[in-house]
Amino acid sequence: MIGHGLAHISFAGVALGLFLNVMPLAVALVIAVLAALGIMKLKENAGVYGDTAIAIFSSVGLALGILLATLAHSFNVDLFSYLFGDILAIGASEVWLSIGLAAIVVFVVILNYHKFMYMTFDREAAKTSGIKVGRLDVLLTILTAVTIVLGMKVVGILLVSALVVIPAAAALQLSSNFKQAIILSSLIAFVSVLLGLFLAFYLDLPASGTIVILSFLLFGLFYIFKRKKRIY
């Protein structure tokens, strides 16, 4: 749910970047991270349910995005490339920004792998053992925001949450532990994007829709395999 909400909030960041005539991807990253932290604070301090907090920020993000895009007269090719994805529209600066952010995400996950695993399976025990669960929550939320922004130009704001959720759901059908789930979900996402771009190029299809449909087909295939395995 938070991935879907942050994708909508990122729309406001993109619109603000176009309005200010600065790099939309960088502005969207800042807005997404601030919104992610705001959602956490709203849940903790205002007693608002998680889904409610996400819905509030998501709605406000969309509203601000529409207003800023209208004021900037930027309902054009640039904005639509972020909404629906256009890998050919990615500039050199955005490529380097994406590579740098992706490297940071991988490094942080590897560095905190055991803490993430412990917290995921037994939150209270992790607290008792001295793990700063609150800080890890913030870190995970920021990593989610960064991941959402990284995928915007490939599959678009409207579908980027699917690229985060579906490969993970597919990996869980076959994984027996946390490490396998991380590796397999990354592999599924990589194959979906690579094969999706290949098919989109040769069949003249939109890359964003092709990538998401392929990841969904992999999820369906793994789900059927898991059910068959249980039967036999």
The domain spanning residue 53 has which CATH number? 1.10.3470.10
Q: Which residues of the chain have pLDDT under 70?
A: 1, 46-50, 73-78, 87-89, 94, 230-232
Please tell me whether residues 60 and 87 are part of one structural domain: yes
Please tell me whether residues 171 and 113 are part of one structural domain: no
Please tell me whether residues 146 and 129 are part of one structural domain: yes
Between vectors from CA 42 to CA 58 and to CA 49, what angle results, nearest 5°? 75
142, 134, 140: which is closest to 36 by C-alpha?
142
- Single-letter amino acid code for the residue at 146: V
Please tell me whether residues 130 and 185 are part of one structural domain: no
Q: Please give the backbone phi and psi of residue 158, each rounded to the nearest 5 degrees, phi first.
A: -70, -25
| Domain residue limits at 217 | 159-232
pTM above 0.85, yes or no: no
DSSP 1: -
pLDDT score for 195: 92
Please tell me whether residues 104 and 216 are part of one structural domain: no
pLDDT score for 102: 79
Q: Which two tokens stand for residue 93?
A: 């600066």
Total domain count, the chain: 2
pLDDT score for 143: 82
pLDDT score for 188: 92
11, 62 in Cβ contact below 8 A? Answer: yes
pLDDT score for 216: 92
135, 186 in Cβ contact below 8 A? Answer: no
- Spatial separation of the C-alpha atoms in residues 174 and 14, rounded to whole Å: 37
